[in-house]
Amino acid sequence: MKAVYFIGIGGIGMSAIARYFLHQGITVGGYDRTPSDLTRRLEEEGALIHYEDNTQLIPEACRQKEETLVVYTPAIPAEHTELTFFREGGFDLQKRAQVLGTLTRRHKGLCVAGTHGKTTTSSMAAHLLHQSHVDCNAFLGGITKNYGTNYILSSDSPYVVIEADEFDRSFHWLTPFATVITSTDADHLDIYGTEEAYLESFAHYTSLITEGGYLILHTGLKMQPRCTTGVTTYTYSREEGDFHAEHIRIGGGEITFDLVSPIENIKDIRLGVPVTVNIDNGIAAMALAQIAGATAEEIRHGMESFGGVDRRFDFRVKRPDMVYLSDYAHHPEEIRQSILSIKQLYEGRNIKAIFQPHLYTRTRDFYREFADALSQLDNIALVDIYPARERPIPGVTSQLIYDLLQSKHKQMITKHEILDCVRQGGFDVLVTLGAGDIEDYAPQITDILNQQ
């Protein structure tokens, strides 16, 4: 193989694999719909990228069938011109997850699966190992603050940290050595159809763990694991399980706790990103790090120095009189946990959330749960649904959520009204929520608040 061509190269997961092949000295080409910071950085690193679905723009180096691997994501429509060109040309086509699966068989895969918490937990585990004597490779679903990238390269570590995505059953291509499952709250019902099918998918995933490997389950999950013999199963959570926290201390903008572990207890863990949900995420990440052989002192230092991930409880303004943070939360339970953490951190403050629902199907399936989670706050602004890969569904709009909101102050706005909504004020803590393009407004929101 002399070249790899990515259809959808600007995706967060795709770009990490593209970086891997660039580091291997292999020619990397690709298509994406629009330029972004990720694609621009890839071009600076040597990737040949264009932004029009046009087979004439495919680099010559990526046109040799016997020498080119073509990687695509499930989000690419089947009728995509370039995808059709490669398929009809008999090229080796693989989904992103298939390529990651190959990497888990070349290395010891430390994987993080679950409805939510995947990106933070896997990024935290990667940081713990990379700054330890163990080191690791990592393919992550977000840009880490510590490294400014979604890919970590190690020349000799046997471990690779991977975010195991359940969308389109992608994680079924993986062969984990050790895996965390953070949560199994139903999602992607456009793919799975029912909660039962969703849970079955996770059960099958546990059967893929290698003999002699490890499964680390959050307590209270509905799914029943289906591990083969020789797999060690642990449980974890904030308050109970084989791995859990004791002596949790929250105050002065800091969170400190002791880790209770079947491998080795560690005292005085201080969270570098001090939000309560990161207690659970941190416990899971530390469990993976201990299994891989990181020392107590390395883990303690890594937890304190972890800087977080872009768009995951991401502080943009943090002054005594004003706080603004951006959060990728787009599932009802994620939103519930995000808001709970904010309320605990800023008790008694005037908190406002601006939420952009992500996908028509998710809104249709969970609008009641969204309304219930958002109603924890008194001040809510709802934005139109971000469609991503989907076409509109008649009758499915943000109004479904709005009508059930119990918040005292609620409003419906368009994307173009977000900045005016911020200028109107009425809050001293602001959070923007959602996995869509609401993030594009974050720099302007930051500027507005910094000028006040």
pLDDT in tens, 225-245: 998 889 999 999 999 999 999
pLDDT of residue 193: 86
177 pLDDT tier (thresholds 50, 70, 90): very high
Whole-structure pTM value? 0.79
On the question of pLDDT at 252 being above 70, the answer is no
Q: Which residues of 308-319 are buried (b: 16+ CB within 10 A; e: fewer)?
A: bbbbbbbebbee
Does the structural domain 107-305 have CATH classification 3.40.1190.10? yes
- Residue spans per domain, the chain: 3-95, 107-305, 314-450
- In this predicted model, which residue has the larger pLDDT, 345 or 406? 406
pLDDT of residue 368: 95
Query: Residue 340: in which H helix or E strand, if any?
Result: helix 332-345
363 pLDDT tier (thresholds 50, 70, 90): very high
| Per-residue model confidence as pLDDT tens digits over 382-440 | 999 999 878 899 999 999 999 999 999 999 999 999 999 999 999 999 999 998 889 88
pLDDT of residue 443: 93
Three-state secondary structure call for residue 158: coil
Q: What is the CATH number of domain 3-95?
A: 3.40.50.720
Sign of CA dihedral 191, 223, 139, 436: positive
Average pLDDT (324-342) is 89
Which option is the CATH number for 314-450: 2.40.10.340, 3.90.190.20, 3.30.1540.10, 2.40.37.10? 3.90.190.20
| CA atoms of 87 and 282, how far apart (whole Å) | 43
Average pLDDT (80-99) is 94
Question: Considering only CA atoms, which of 171, 188, 206, 202 is closest in space to residue 101?
Answer: 171
| CA atoms of 40 and 34, how far apart (whole Å) | 10
**Which amino acid type is present at position 316?**
R
CA distances to 9, 12, 31 from 34, in Å: 10, 13, 9
| CA atoms of 337 and 334, how far apart (whole Å) | 5
Same fold, 3-95 and 107-305: no
Question: Considering only CA atoms, which of 78, 105, 103, 108 is closest in space to residue 93?
Answer: 78
- In this predicted model, which residue has the larger pLDDT, 313 or 240? 240
- Residue owning tokens 């609620």: 410
| Per-residue model confidence as pLDDT tens digits over 52-81 | 999 999 999 999 999 999 999 877 888 899
pLDDT of residue 56: 96
202 pLDDT tier (thresholds 50, 70, 90): very high
Mean pLDDT of the chain: 92
